[in-house]
Amino acid sequence: MKILSAKQIYKAHQATITNQQITELDLLERAGLQIFNWMHMRMQGAQVKIHIFNGIGNNGGVGLVLARHLLEHGYNVANYVVNYSKKRTDGFLKNYDRVKKLKQWPVLLNEASEFPTDITADDIIVDAIFGIGLNRGTTNLVNNLFAHLNAIKAFKLAVDIPSGLYSNKVPNNLDHVLRVNYTLAFQSPKMCFFLPETAIFTEQWEVLDIGLDPEFMHAAFGAQLIAKPEVLPMYRMREKFANKFTYGHSLLIGGSYGKIGSIQLASKAALVSGCGMVSALVPECGYNVLQSSFPELMVQNSSNNKLLNEIQPKGHFNVIGIGCGMGTDEITQKAFESFIESNTLPLVIDADGLNCLSRNTELLSKLPEMSILTPHKAELERLIGSWTNDFEMLKKAKDFSTQYDCILVLKDAITITVYHKEVFINTTGNTALATAGSGDVLTGIITGLLAQGYDPLSACMFGVYLHGKTADIGLQDTGYQSFIASDIINYLPDAYMDLFKQPEQPTPAEEQAE
């Protein structure tokens, strides 16, 4: 699924109107009817009071379409118009007249108006005030209304986007945004749903198909959501006459005194991801530990007992993952620099490998093409510099990726993969992954996929998806708090198996209940 900008969505509207020979009013009708269908299917006529707050633009026009259909089906509807400007769109005015024909006159809210005080926690609030066209600060009337509604515990449903949010930037004042429980977005989710500063304004979201021109939508360039339909075609079937050499040899480099566990996690994850063979290069202190605790792993060590003082791997490898638990001691920094100077193999760089890079940015131009860097936010800032908001962070990440021809896996609650101007947003995972060693496991999974022959971009998207899916599956057994990094590896087979799992069909009794 693509994530399009507001400008692209407006172009999609025009293409739809032209190619399908409909009017803008018809498009608003489709949108409002889809929201009505969504609500009606869930409410089945329940007499909960529904308070619809309409703006005076096309989003308000959609809200009025919704109100009309709800009224025609006997729902208890209170209708309000937020009169924040003298300008009205034609879509608003015509739908306003249609509602009045049902003998309901919406309450006009002006600067001097008192806001409704009869909204209870059992009611529903529908936010149809602003849509994706918002591009300036909101008025005192709107800001005060938002504060009033945010204080009410009623379920809040936003039309297309929570009012006060922009589709392409962070609002100057986050207090001037409506916080909602659910957003029904038209045709495409909005980028603000996925960035930490703005994602907090909607707990959940869903996309409704309003029939925008399919050719335009297919051709449009935008960020991509990565879910099972996107990763399943990436999956590489195992060959009948394959052997361990068929699926590559990964080398994981890292570890230091007290942090050998990180390289163990990464190495085991690489093997469980399907890699044929895995080796590790660690300081001498990790040799016996790894040999005794992980019999499938082959181990090399540097001459220093506590630190990697030299990085000179021996053997044939397909890919190298480096940095987990490595430390940034001066001796290790020099060894890392020397390694980067001479290495030609595909690289996955994480943790202290990224920190070593940020200490000597001249090394960035010496990385193999499409090297994979997996920073969390602090590591990313050391690489690309600071930013003022998440949208600027994403732009700087794209510029950095383009400049150095590398792939950035931006680890966060929602992990985003960036390659040049392309953006891929993962849909799996939850807060159970907020645990020590989670990033080490991800490094191992991506390294293992690369060794098996996945192209770098697919390895990142597929690896991040599988990594997150383990937490979605394991959560049922462990809960959020007790899920640890080793569990990611333990549930990795289940994440693979889930790729081919068919949705459960309802029983006849369940179908009848629906």
Whether residue 508 is contained in a domain is answered as no
Q: What is the pLDDT of residue 137?
A: 81
Binding residues for AMP: 411-415, 439
Residue 511 has a pLDDT of: 44
**Do 122 and 66 fall within a single domain?**
yes
Residue 230 lies in a domain: no
Query: 210 with 297, same domain?
Result: no
* CB of 346 closer than 8 Å to CB of 368: yes
* C-alpha distances out from residue 431 to 113, 470, 488, Å: 42, 12, 13
H-type alpha helices, 101-139: none
Q: Domain for residue 504, yes or no?
A: no
**Strand 2-3 relative to strand 223-226, pairing:** antiparallel
Q: What is the pLDDT along the chain (514 residues), one digit of tens a residue?
A: 899 999 999 999 999 999 999 999 999 999 999 999 999 999 999 999 999 999 999 999 999 999 999 999 999 999 999 999 889 999 999 999 999 999 889 999 999 899 999 999 999 999 999 999 888 788 999 999 999 999 999 999 999 999 999 988 999 899 999 999 999 999 999 999 999 999 999 999 999 999 999 999 999 999 999 999 999 999 999 999 999 999 999 999 999 999 999 999 999 999 999 999 999 999 999 999 999 999 999 999 999 999 999 999 999 999 999 999 999 999 999 999 999 999 999 999 999 999 999 999 999 999 999 999 999 999 999 999 999 999 999 999 999 999 999 999 999 999 999 999 999 999 999 999 999 999 999 999 999 999 999 999 999 999 999 999 999 999 999 999 999 999 999 999 999 999 998 876 554 444 444 4
Q: Which residue has the tokens 């949108």?
A: 31
Contact 416, 401 (CB under 8 A): no
Do 34 and 107 have their domain in common?
Answer: yes
**Do residue 292 and residue 347 come from a single domain?**
yes
pLDDT value at position 250?
Answer: 98
Q: What is the number of structural domains in the chain?
A: 2
Point out the annotated binding site for K(+).
59, 127, 163
Does residue 155 belong to any structural domain of this protein? yes
Q: Can you give the CATH number for the domain in which 127 is found? A: 3.40.50.10260
Beta bridge partners of residue 253, listed in sequence order: 281, 322
The answer to whether the beta carbons of residues 323 and 282 sit under 8 Å apart is no
Is 349 found in the same domain as 306? Answer: yes
Q: Which residues are annotated as a binding site for (6S)-NADPHX?
A: 58-62, 131-137, 160, 325, 376, 440
Residues 379 and 251 in one domain: yes
Domain membership of residue 70 as a residue range? 2-221
What pLDDT, on the 0 to 100 scale, is given for residue 502? 80
- Specify if 227 maps to a domain: no
Binding site residue list: 58-62, 127, 131-137, 160, 163, 325, 376, 411-415, 439-440
* 213 and 255 together in one domain: no
Question: 146-161, pLDDT tens digit by residue?
Answer: 999 999 999 999 999 9
Could you tell me if 204 and 252 lie in one domain? no
Please state at what angle helix 456-478 crosses helix 438-451, rounded to 10 degrees.
140
Dihedrals φ, ψ of 226, to 5°?
-110, 110
Q: What six digits make up the tokens of 252?
A: 């994981």
Instruction: Give CA–CA dist 445/433, Å, rounded.
Output: 15
* pTM for this prediction: 0.94
**236, part of any domain:** no
* Residue whose entry in the numeric block shows the structure tokens 């068919």: 502
Assigned domain for 505 exists: no
Pair (384, 454) in one structural domain: yes
Q: At what angle do helices 260-272 and 438-451 cross, to 10 degrees?
A: 40
Give phi and psi for 272, each to the nearest 5.
-70, -25
Please report the pLDDT score of residue 504 as a whole number.
65
Q: Which residues contact 131 (CB under 8 A, 6 or more apart)?
A: 55, 57, 58, 59, 62, 159, 160, 161
Give the CATH number for residue 339.
3.40.1190.20
CA dist., res. 440 & res. 254, Å (int): 10
Q: Region of 44 please: left (phi>0), alpha (psi -120 to 50) or beta.
A: left
226 token code pair: 């990565």
214 and 279 share a domain?
A: no
| Residues 484, 432 share a domain | yes
The pLDDT assigned to 138 comes to: 86
In a domain, 312, yes or no: yes
pLDDT of residue 134: 87
Same domain, 185 and 254: no
